[in-house]
A and B are shown apart, each in its own frame.
Chain A
Amino acid sequence: MSLVTFFGCLLVAYGPILSIFFLYIGQNAQYVLLMVSSAFFCLIALLISSVIWYFAKAAQSIHPASIAYSITVQEIFRWFFFLLLRHSEAGLNVVSANPQSPFNQSTFSFVTGYGYALTTTLVSYISLLVESIGPGVIMCPSCPQATTFFISAVTTTLFSLLHIIWMMIAFEGFSNIRKPAGAARVIWVIVSHFGASYATLLNGSETIKYGCVYAIIVCVVILSISISLVAYSLKSRFKLAHISHPHSS
């Protein structure tokens, strides 16, 4: 019954994505548009990475190298989208539900992050998911009891959450880039992106036993740290808002 595997992996990989879309983003047209644009930017980033991969024939099987230039391109495009958003922020705010809200930027960065998450997860996992419909499986080299489909699904779902959070942190960092706090945020995003991606190399390692567990732990740790960063900045913004507008309802 390989369809069972298919649905299981589908839900594991795309559970958060589906629920966020249907319960949050899909209910607001502005968010959908924003999401599509950021997804498009991510797609361009991936396209450029693939072109580089195609031409860099010597490095095609050296995965660390591919990860390096891929992440670099994605981060650059993150910055491009931030620039684009900054130009259009005024207009976006006017059309938004609550134009004065200080949390608009967080919302926009959340939605942007979701666009990135959608593209990367779709592009990376769909082909593997489709193969899981058939009766055959590939076992994960570092965790031979689990299938590649399942471990990849877990990695995918973690990365979807990570991309959303990274975008929120990155936007905060880009808007305060001259301050050390802002720069630190940007650096955190880049470093943790590299860290999480290189950690997934452990999934495929045949020498490190339970490499897939280590990879998942690394990703979860990075996710937790990032979420607490975001929570902290949201709280401070909230406090700021309440100090300046004590009578807001």
Chain B
Amino acid sequence: MCLCLFPFFLLKIAEDIGSSLYPYIYTNLNNWPCVRLLNATNTIGCHAPKTGSGVLYHVKSQNQMDDFVAGQFGSSDTYGIVLGYNLLTRDNINALQSTGRVNGLIVLLREAMNQNDFQNLHSPEENCPNCQFGLYADDDDPYNWNPQGQNLLESEFEIPIFGINPVNKISTQIYNFVMKTVEYNEEKGYDNYPLQAVDFELFMWAAMNSETCLRRGWCEAIGGLSVYSTPSVDIQADDKKTIVMLTAGMDSRSLFHDLTNGAGHDVSGLVGILAAAEALSRVDTTNLPKHILYTAFSAESWGYAGSQRFVQDISQPFTCTNESRAVTCPYGSNAPCTNPCVRTLDFKRINFDQIDSIIELGSISMTTNGEYWAHVDDIKTSESLVASLQQQQNTINSNASIFSIHPAYEDNVQRKLPPGSSTMSFLKQKQNIPAVVITDFQKELGSLYNSDLDDTLKGLDLSSICQLATTTAKTTYLQAQGNTSVAEQITANCTLVESLMDCLVSNFSCSFMQNYFNVSGITRISHYSSIFSFRNPQPQLLPRFVFTFLADVTSRSSPTLSSCATIQDCNQGEYCIKKQCVQTFTNYHDAYGTGLKYDESSGKVLIIDSTKSTWTESTWNTPVFRTFLVTSKTQQAIELVVGVLWTVISIVTVFYGKRYFKKTFKIE
């Protein structure tokens, strides 16, 4: 409906009383941006105040990209480039930024990419991610775990980058719309105006580094809630029983935080220990000589924030000062201590010095020939643990598929622990704990490490995860007890593994999840740990699920045996899991960088150690990218010239008209 008429009454479309013309010119698109993060020294990610407009151009191949960079395409216009994730390489981005003719990037992710684009993928991570926070930060020659890494995640971009992945209704609409506008431009041949253009707004408030932005209030600490659980409900720090730990990372990282999935790294590891915990719940573990402790750490991608803070808190004495606070403690008056404000003091019952061995499951879903690799820090300390694992692996009747565990140093190269291992935080404190990290890679992290494309179950080896969970559970039991006959009965539930992977990767509202939560309408959840709220720390969906699941498998029934609907129906200290009141030793633990400290008396977050994790995320305005039609510069110039000419003519006419009328008609 045209609005270019009727200078007689207000130009409104009937249905939109009081609205402007904006929606008829611009289409704002909901979107997933790359955002700005800060640490102790610098900023990474994207920041762009309002950009100029750029004609939409879809680059479909590396050749097209090279042509564009070389200037063999298009006039001196600015372009907004649409490209697949496979073309998002370091070289391409640098080249595009240096042309000065690109106002932003729109990246097509898995569901929007062509099949043949998946062949040449590279991990966007750096060569040794998080190594400056790990166990080998001071090594002279650290092993290069990610030689083909593009080093995008730790870079700062000058242009805004948005991602599109048609995984739900809205994003599919957006994807279709963008593709339509891109095709429109293609049909017009990019020089037949008017063309579709795009502009971006991705304003980040924080700048410089964490210390500055925290002081100014423009950023928040990145973090989440870790979960720890043990079947030994009556564990005490001084009960002289050692602890066997099973651990995995709970969060993932990628360029677009709203879409971060990490099916391979690290959801598979988490599923592995959940399945192992479930397998162990079917035998009696409370009367063993050692405790079994399950831990899932949050914010591990951000300098091992979760595990380091946990280690720090269980190895240092805790002093409750109960001094005055700037903000009331969010855990209410029942909190065991108000300064520092803690949810529970149960972590004091875990004695760090009693930790006897650690088994960690990392990325375990993309095996070749069912082979797993056991990484250790020191061969002498941990080789018995590796041997135990291999022994248990042999007991598995695997005629269905091949499955094997190999020491990663089998080829006589000691690469030590791979990045992303929470175990490093424990070994940093005490290096002679026997510890094994099991992964599906031996030498390299792989092309999907921390990639936005690590979000599918296709090509993942779920049955091997199941067998690994069984092996891990058996080994853990033997470490804790030593009774081989009972270990025979321990098997992981493979259907459980499939359900868990499906729920946590593709569809959080799956039927399996309904056992724990009444949830619907949520399919993909983001596995980015997001920011840590000191005023109201609420667990995200994933930690909440892990808590509930572990509480379920490590629980013992309440002596009163009551059924319940919510936690209020149960006694103090009990939880309502699967409609039963249960007692369990399962808790959350704060996870945010150990280089940060929350000063309770002032309510501010301070940097206390810049060598440790100090990651924060900037606050931002609503990111906008919108499409609209533009005309050529020539046409705009013509409009201006016509206007000037017309005004000059009218001035001249009025001037001479006045003179004429004065002379002839004697009118003033």
Contact with B along A117-141 (1 / 0, CB 8 A): 0001101110110010011111111
- A243 interfacial by beta-carbon distance below 8 Å: no
- B650 interfacial by beta-carbon distance below 8 Å: yes
Size range of the interface on B?
Answer: 35 or more
Which of B14-22, B215-223, B230-238, B454-462 lies on the face that meets chain A? B14-22
CA–CA, A228 to B496, complex, Å?
A: 91
**Restricting to B1-56, which residues have a CB under 8 Å from any CB of A?**
1-11, 13-14, 17, 20-22, 24-26, 52-53
Which partner residue on chain A sits nearest B629 by CB separation? Answer: A137
- B194 interfacial by beta-carbon distance below 8 Å: yes
CA–CA, A74 to B199, complex, Å?
A: 42
A179 to chain B minimum Cβ distance, whole angstroms, is: 23
Evaluate whether A15 and B647 lie within 8 angstroms (CB atoms) in the complex, with A23-B658, A137-B194, A138-B629 already known: yes
Evaluate whether A137 and B10 lie within 8 angstroms (CB atoms) in the complex, with A12-B642, A15-B646, A131-B21 already known: no
* A131 adjacent to B629 (CB under 8 Å): no
- B449 interfacial by beta-carbon distance below 8 Å: no
List of B residues within 8 angstroms of A159 by Cβ: 7
Among the interface residues B1, B646, B649, which one has the most CB atoms of the partner chain A within 10 A? B646
Which of B66-74, B404-412, B509-517, B632-640 lies on the face that meets chain A? B632-640
* A204 adjacent to B629 (CB under 8 Å): no
**Restricting to B607-641, which residues have a CB under 8 Å from any CB of A?**
626, 628-631, 633, 635-641
- A205 interfacial by beta-carbon distance below 8 Å: yes
* B8 adjacent to A70 (CB under 8 Å): yes
Evaluate whether A23 and B4 lie within 8 angstroms (CB atoms) in the complex, with A4-B637, A124-B9, A138-B629 already known: no
* B666 adjacent to A12 (CB under 8 Å): no
A120 to chain B minimum Cβ distance, whole angstroms, is: 6
- A54 interfacial by beta-carbon distance below 8 Å: yes
List of A residues within 8 angstroms of B644 by Cβ: 8, 11
- A148 interfacial by beta-carbon distance below 8 Å: yes
* B655 adjacent to A23 (CB under 8 Å): yes
Which of A33-41, A60-68, A77-85, A168-176 lies on the face that meets chain B? A60-68
Which partner residue on chain B sits nearest A143 by CB separation? Answer: B4
Which of B25, B643, B650 has a CB less than 8 Å from the CB of A9?
B643
Evaluate whether A20 and B650 lie within 8 angstroms (CB atoms) in the complex, with A12-B642, A197-B8 already known: yes
* A60 adjacent to B665 (CB under 8 Å): no
Evaluate whether A46 and B9 lie within 8 angstroms (CB atoms) in the complex, with A127-B20, A135-B197 already known: yes
- B187 interfacial by beta-carbon distance below 8 Å: no
- A101 interfacial by beta-carbon distance below 8 Å: yes
B200 to chain A minimum Cβ distance, whole angstroms, is: 12
Which of A97, A200, A203 has a CB less than 8 Å from the CB of B668?
A97
B636 to chain A minimum Cβ distance, whole angstroms, is: 4
List of A residues within 8 angstroms of B327 by Cβ: none
Which of B10, B25, B651, B666 has a CB less than 8 Å from the CB of A23?
B651
List of A residues within 8 angstroms of B667 by Cβ: 98, 101, 103, 106-107
- A201 interfacial by beta-carbon distance below 8 Å: yes
CA–CA, A153 to B665, complex, Å?
A: 33
CA–CA, A140 to B655, complex, Å?
A: 34
SS of B interface (majority):
mixed
CA–CA, A49 to B555, complex, Å?
A: 74
List of B residues within 8 angstroms of A93 by Cβ: none
Evaluate whether A131 and B20 lie within 8 angstroms (CB atoms) in the complex, with A7-B643, A19-B650, A136-B26 already known: yes
* A19 adjacent to B6 (CB under 8 Å): no
Contact with B along A40-68 (1 / 0, CB 8 A): 00000010011001100100110100110
* A19 adjacent to B654 (CB under 8 Å): yes
* B6 adjacent to A8 (CB under 8 Å): no
List of A residues within 8 angstroms of B22 by Cβ: 131
- B664 interfacial by beta-carbon distance below 8 Å: yes
List of A residues within 8 angstroms of B8 by Cβ: 46, 49, 67, 70-71, 74, 120, 124, 197
CA–CA, A150 to B194, complex, Å?
A: 14
List of B residues within 8 angstroms of A197 by Cβ: 6, 8
A192 to chain B minimum Cβ distance, whole angstroms, is: 14
CA–CA, A49 to B199, complex, Å?
A: 38
A22 to chain B minimum Cβ distance, whole angstroms, is: 9
* A67 adjacent to B639 (CB under 8 Å): no
- A24 interfacial by beta-carbon distance below 8 Å: yes
List of B residues within 8 angstroms of A157 by Cβ: 646
* B2 adjacent to A5 (CB under 8 Å): no
Which of B20, B25, B639 has a CB less than 8 Å from the CB of A4?
B639
A247 to chain B minimum Cβ distance, whole angstroms, is: 13
Q: Would you list 16 pairs from A and B whose C-beta atoms are within 8 A, ordered by A residue?
A: A4-B636, A8-B636, A18-B647, A20-B650, A23-B651, A28-B668, A123-B10, A128-B11, A135-B199, A135-B628, A136-B53, A136-B628, A200-B7, A203-B5, A204-B3, A238-B664
Excluding A23-B654, A67-B8, A138-B24, 20 further A-B contacts by CB distance (< 8 Å) are A5-B636, A8-B639, A12-B639, A12-B646, A50-B10, A98-B666, A98-B667, A128-B3, A128-B4, A128-B21, A131-B25, A135-B628, A136-B53, A137-B630, A139-B194, A147-B635, A148-B2, A157-B646, A197-B6, A203-B5
Q: CB within 8 Å of A: which residues of B?
A: 1-11, 13-14, 17, 20-22, 24-26, 52-53, 194, 197, 199, 626, 628-631, 633, 635-644, 646-647, 649-651, 653-655, 658, 664-668
